[in-house]
Amino acid sequence: MSHEQATLGEWLTEPLPGDVAASIDRIRSTEGVERVVVLPDVHLSGIFCVGTVVASRERVFPGAVGSDIGCGMMAMRFEAFASEVIPDNSGGMRILRALRTLVPTNRHSDRTMPDALPAELSPLALTSMPLRNRAARDGRVQLGTLGRGNHFLEFQVDDDGALWVMVHSGSRGMGQAITQHHLARCQRDATGLAFFEVGSAECIEYEADVAWARRYASASRRAMVTTVSVLLETWFGAQADADSIIACDHNHVASEDHYGQAFRVHRKGALPAEDGQPGVIPGSMGTSSYHVTGRGCAESLQSSSHGAGRALRRSDAVRRVSRKQLALQMREVTYDRSIEKRLVEEAPAAYKDIERVMRAQSELTRIVRRVRPVLVYKGI
């Protein structure tokens, strides 16, 4: 039985590379997929590209969510000028050293006895015993840790000189565990693509665990921002502006109404952008990021890019970007030079131009504020 190809919406900075175009075409031809949206930060990552939105009515595709379920952003302003908190590189390095201890990239389960998970993250809410055990052990330990790869914590300055903190992190291994557990229970189409039938017991359980992972990732980001708030108040008397918080995530599946119909909307590296909905779109660790509100564009399934998007694979960045080039690109930002050799994977040159990305999606989001990094903390 043939399947009519899904409709397509594109907001791009440049023509799609051949491998990305082939991936998009395959997804559009997948049974059950009704609309695909391609955003300007799109890049290849497995079967489903990062920077895409997939809408279906009868099927849920875990691959269209990705394994780091709930990965997202949180930003908050402080009643302080950035220049007061980080007057120079030595002041910034003092903060970096504190962050290594207070906001670790990882904790070892056998050496750590943190508090129990909060009530809203009870392991009992998960749908299987292996996942409950994982949450009670590793999930409890990793809550409030940053992770590695493209996750980061930045101190930023807005155009008025005010200090902001922004965190990008995910579900710290829990999303991966949930994805792997449920993939083993999926049906497969003729091409081997994994899916659930909407309304099936397996789909209901997957979506329940996705909701748990999203709550977990959000709580983890909030824990890190709270830790930073205590540090800044203790050291500098800088008060956090709780009303300024912007929180969003960009790896999920949700039931939403579009075009007068109910869809399962999968976002893999895509930001929800309903009319007036606040969001954060990061650039790279050496370039601007943007606070935005959505415009509610129907054709994009009320979505926008989740960031600048990678221009170079990690292996390509290691080959093409030298440590000297990284230092030049980061000349106005405090960062840990002891891990410079590994940081080239995340060099600004490894990412697309955020200004072009924002122009390409001007009908999807309104820019509220630009912020620039003054200190970057990453775990590689």
Kindly list the catalytic residues: 306
Q: Output the six-digit token pair for 90.
A: 């030595």
Q: Which residue, chain included where needed, has tokens 């820019």? A: 367
60, 179 Cβ separation under 8 angstroms: no
Q: Strand runs (DSSP E) across 147-281, as ranges?
A: 152-158, 162-169, 187-188, 194-197, 240-249, 251-258, 261-268, 270-272, 278-281
- Measured CA to CA in angstroms, residue 237 lies from 100, 139, 231, 233 at distances of 21, 32, 9, 4
Q: State the Cα angle at 188 between 187 and 190, rounded to 5°.
A: 145
Q: Output the six-digit token pair for 202.
A: 């397996």
Instruction: Identify the three-state secondary structure at position 86.
Output: coil
Q: What radius of gyration, in Å, describes the C-alpha atoms of the chain?
A: 20
Q: Which residue, chain included where needed, has tokens 């992770």? A: 147
Q: Output the six-digit token pair for 28.
A: 């559009």
